[in-house]
């Protein structure tokens, strides 16, 4: 019981940290190229992760773990950051945050496929219901606003759910912060050269909000948040703790309104709160 409670606490901390990711990315892509932002944030986090691994003298992962680490890297180091950065060129962060309501369902599905978990049937009812609120909101006007932006966000949710589930599975043996650190290091030989090639010739046009967003996604979104998140998923269960992501839109919408002065409609709030209400039912039947 104590182990499960610790997992939920770690998962909650991770969700709070991740809630700032989309507003920070939205601020950063105003002045940074999405490809440069994706590769640069991963490179910075990889260097920090490598220093952490070396300082604490962590052994290298076994060869059998490398394919899974590659999946983690493709999902959360490359796929999600790049797809969301591209999407945020077409939609607001407040709009994109609502799509995060689909992450619990995606994570749970991959938790079954990759993590061997078997939630009870009622769990899927609540999880699908929460996701339905999100899809319903998008169909009410968001999709017409930007088909490209919404499709990119949907793709981001799928690859992120896979990366979450695969990372959580590995965390049971490697440890949470070790998994994200090794995944970042594995991606460094690819991400660093691309970051250097796509780096702007001058940074004079980059404003303070973009720099702050860049710093946040590089350190907190790309590394620190995963330390708590993967540990939480490993201890509390991928499908169960993954439902905490339904809280992420609520925190994210508040940040978008406070930091970016974006309009948060009553529709967004109602949909988000309805999705959040489903987490209680899903949690009850996750085991």
Q: Could you give phi then psi for residue 218, rounded to 5 degrees? A: -75, -40
Percent of the chain scoring above 70 in pLDDT: 92
The predicted structure's pLDDT at residue 35: 93
In which band, very low, low, confident or very high, does the pLDDT at 281 lie, cut at 50, 70 and 90?
confident
The token pair that represents 131 in the structure block: 């996701």
Higher pLDDT, residue 116 or 87: 87
Higher pLDDT, residue 78 or 120: 78
Is a pLDDT exceeding 90 seen at residue 282? Answer: no
Q: Please state at what angle helix 147-174 crosses helix 80-87, rounded to 10 degrees.
A: 160
Is a pLDDT exceeding 70 seen at residue 260? Answer: no
Is a pLDDT exceeding 90 seen at residue 225? Answer: yes
Determine the Cα–Cα distance for residues 213 and 81; give it in Å rounded to an integer: 13
Task: Find the radius of gyration of the CA atoms of the chain.
Answer: 18
In which band, very low, low, confident or very high, does the pLDDT at 287 lie, cut at 50, 70 and 90?
low
Please say whether the beta carbons of 178 and 53 come within 8 A: yes
How confident is the model over 232-241, as a mean pLDDT?
87
Determine the Cα–Cα distance for residues 45 and 29; give it in Å rounded to an integer: 18
The token pair that represents 199 in the structure block: 């780096």
pLDDT digits (tens, 9 = 90+) for 185-221: 999 999 999 999 999 989 999 999 999 999 999 999 9
Whole-model pTM: value is 0.85
In which band, very low, low, confident or very high, does the pLDDT at 1 lie, cut at 50, 70 and 90?
low
Least confident of 194-208, 221-235, 239-253: 239-253
Determine the Cα–Cα distance for residues 186 and 72; give it in Å rounded to an integer: 10
The predicted structure's pLDDT at residue 145: 62
DSSP-assigned states of every residue in 211-250? HHHHHHIIIIIIIIHHHHHHHHHHHH-HHHHHGGGGGHHH
pLDDT digits (tens, 9 = 90+) for 24-73: 888 898 899 999 999 999 999 999 999 999 999 999 999 999 999 999 99
Can you tell me which residue has the tokens 């991606």?
187
Domain extents in the chain: 2-284
**How remote is the C-alpha of 218 from its chain's centroid?**
13
């Amino acid at each position: 019981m104590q182990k499960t409670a610790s997992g939920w606490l770690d998962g909650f901390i991770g969700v709070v940290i991740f809630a700032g990711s989309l507003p920070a990315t939205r601020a950063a892509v105003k002045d940074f190229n999405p490809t440069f932002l994706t590769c640069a944030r991963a490179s910075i986090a990889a260097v920090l992760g490598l220093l952490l691994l070396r300082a604490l003298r962590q052994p290298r992962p076994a060869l059998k773990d490398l394919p899974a680490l590659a999946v983690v890297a493709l999902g959360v180091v490359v796929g999600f950051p790049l797809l969301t950065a591209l999407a945020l060129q077409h939609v607001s962060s407040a709009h994109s945050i609502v799509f995060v309501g689909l992450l619990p369902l995606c994570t749970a599905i991959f938790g079954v496929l990759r993590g061997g978990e078997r939630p009870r049937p009622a769990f899927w009812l609540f999880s699908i219901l929460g996701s339905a609120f999100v899809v319903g909101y998008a169909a009410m006007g968001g999709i017409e606003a930007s088909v490209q932006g919404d499709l990119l966000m949907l793709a981001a949710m799928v690859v992120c759910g896979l990366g979450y589930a695969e990372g959580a599975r590995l965390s049971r043996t490697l440890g949470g912060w070790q998994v994200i650190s090794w995944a970042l290091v594995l991606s460094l030989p690819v991400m660093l050269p691309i970051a250097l090639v796509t780096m702007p010739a001058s940074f004079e046009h980059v404003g303070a909000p973009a720099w702050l967003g860049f710093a946040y996604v590089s350190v907190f979104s790309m590394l620190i948040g995963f330390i708590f998140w993967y540990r939480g998923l490993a201890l509390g269960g991928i499908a169960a703790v993954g439902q905490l992501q339904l809280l992420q839109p609520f925190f994210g919408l508040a940040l978008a309104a406070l930091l970016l002065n974006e309009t948060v409609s009553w529709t967004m709030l109602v949909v988000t709160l309805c999705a959040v209400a489903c987490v209680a039912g899903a949690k009850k039947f996750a085991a």
